[in-house]
Amino acid sequence: MSRMPESHPYCLPRVPRLPLLGAAALLAFGTLAAPAQAAGQSSAVVAPPVSGAARPTAPPVVTPTPQHMESTGRDLRVPDRVRLVLGDGVDTASVEVVKKALASAGAGRVDTVEAQDASPAPRARRAELTVVAGSVEDPAVAEALRASGGTVPDAPVAEGYSLVSRDDTVVLAGNDGDGVYYAAQTLRQLVTGKHSIAAVSVTDHPAMPLRGSIEGFYGAPWSHADRLDQLAFYGDIKANTYIYTPKDDAYLREEWRAPYPADELADLRELIEQATAHHVDFTYALSPGLSVCYSDPADVNALKAKLGTLYDQGARSFYVALDDISYTRWNCDADEEKYGAPGRGSAGQAQADLLNAVQHDFIDTRPDAEPLQFVPTEYSDTSDSAYKSVLRAQLDPKVVVQWTGTDVVPPSISVADAEAASTVWGRKVFLWDNYPVNDYGQTTGRLLMAPYDKREAGLHKALSGIVLNPMNQAAASKVALFGGASFAWNDEDYDPGRTWRAAARYLADGDPATTRALLAFFDTQHLAPTFGDTDWQPQAPELGARLADFTEAWAGGDRARRQAALRELGAYAEVLAGAPAQIRAGVRDPAFLAQTKPWLDALDAWGSSLEATLDGLRTRLHSGSGESDFAEAAELAKRAAAYTTIPGTTRPQGTIKVADGVLDTFIEQAPTM
């Protein structure tokens, strides 16, 4: 598998993404559509609901979980016509998210006006909905926020925002352009019905500056369409980082000095533009370690020139990957002459010289470029070494260092682990989390779709960010990526199960039956292995618990208890057997359906096998037979176990695993129960 790069680890304002639509001179909020009020009441303050008013309702689930969110009363009614007032700092992407959210809430027409052109809404229309969006530094937006009961932050945090929806007004006040966009993404999740939006007050910002993914696995890289789709998805989940470093891109590793062909360079430019449109940093990662001569100025210049090519396409975040290489030998004699015999200390010095040259001569000469990111050769522990010691002392402090945890695939990551890594590297580390990547032997035949878990709350104090290394199956990776982005945004209030269910709802487009089917499917792909014999997530915990309860009831129960157990397990078996068809009917993402096809096909057969097994037990309970049902179940299980991964995609190839060790064991043992 591979390791990870980084992005800016500092909470600095990010570069605006798209041309702004706001105005320089803005009118005070009093000239905008004000909240409904009694004659003579000041528009500066909206009082909280008084005694006798409708009680506040519980806010809907929003992911990532906001830092602060509370109800402000009864849901807002969304009429057919809505007024959208734009202040400074609103880009095209943010406007589109707001408009789509309003349309999903029943608005048939959205009248958009820039604040400088806004005039007071006619008194007869004061009850209609007005949405104000813009930078909190815009006086009109700030006043709108105050008038709706929100608070203007004294020290705005990068990417943060405030949102208040109350009475007939919604205010989206971003601390910067990213914050406006993220406020819009929260608004999208506040739609509670065809003509309603939840009334809430939100104050929010990310705990970690860097959140997203690193395409760093071995095997078939994602397709161009996969990447475009992923970048749009990252915007939805408030992830801001995508590191491009597929191991099988020859122009990143074996041919790192060679220029890209025109068509591939055009594809990279399109990815950069897509990332920018969705408030994501496209980080280009070059891997010269297999052949670089550290002491050769020509190689150093070739590296900077290659990065410059991507800078010319719009990239502003860059990364040098020196993972998965040998540092016990040099690639050229000149390195031994300059640095001495190969070894940890000399390798550290050579790498420090290379990285410092890129930071000083390339990054520092481009004010809009972000700090260089770097994954070291020693990336997966917290022990000190001559290699780390040299880099800690010599590497420019601006360079961001990545770390994979206490192992290549760690079973857990604690705050103490991250603090130890930050100490040994002399800076906050950037976590490259090797989950849900499935490019190693223990993952053969598996999708890794358990919740993102076993990462300790408080990690934001020791990490500059987290990126997950996903699967070859891009669309199926969204389940874990959904959780990783949520954890990095708010690790102190992260709930793995809640976020897992939210990911299923997202893929199901909110449909309850499809959500349930997806969760049943995810449960059969729950096992998460490490490089060793220890699994850090169990296989099929929901199904396993149900089968254990059934087995206990069957072994120790009378006829009535056994019948009840059959009814209960039979209902879940029906969900499991019907899940593939429900998913195919309810999931609108064709890539998800295509990439999970052999697993859905296998689950179809396994589910039918479980139903046949229960038919056998039911028949035995009533007549003492059931052998034909058990024979059918065995045949279906044999068919289910024969499905294989799609050739040319997953590495390594193999037979499909579905709740292995749980479902197959029960079906095999049931005839002897």
Indicate which residues carry an active-site annotation: 324
Helix (H, G, I), strand (E, B) or coil at 321: strand
DSSP 292: -
Distance CA 144, CA 44 (A): 8
Cα–Cα–Cα angle for 16, 19, 25, rounded to 5 degrees:
95
DSSP 360: I
Q: How far apart are the first and last CA of the chain?
A: 43
Distance CA 15, CA 176 (A): 9
Burial of 60 (0-12, 13-18, 19+ CB in 10 A): middle
Question: What tokens does 126 get?
Answer: 């004061």
Question: What is the residue type of 349?
Answer: Q
DSSP 359: I
Contacts of 514 (CB under 8 A, 6+ apart): 507, 508, 582, 583, 585, 586, 587
Q: Residue written as tokens 């994602």?
A: 222
Question: What is the residue type of 522?
Answer: F
- The Cα-based distances of 569 to 613, 625, 626, 671 in angstroms read 11, 20, 17, 16
Angle between helices 512-524 and 597-623 (to 10 degrees): 90
Question: What tokens does 6 get?
Answer: 């980084």
46: β partners: none
Strands (E), 64-168: 68-71, 76-77, 81-86, 109-114, 129-135, 161-166
129: β partners: 82
Q: Residue written as tokens 């079973």?
A: 411
Burial of 364 (0-12, 13-18, 19+ CB in 10 A): middle
Distance CA 364, CA 357 (A): 10
Distance CA 567, CA 494 (A): 35
Contacts of 337 (CB under 8 A, 6+ apart): 295
Under a CB-based contact definition with an 8 Å cutoff, are residues 244 and 215 in contact? yes
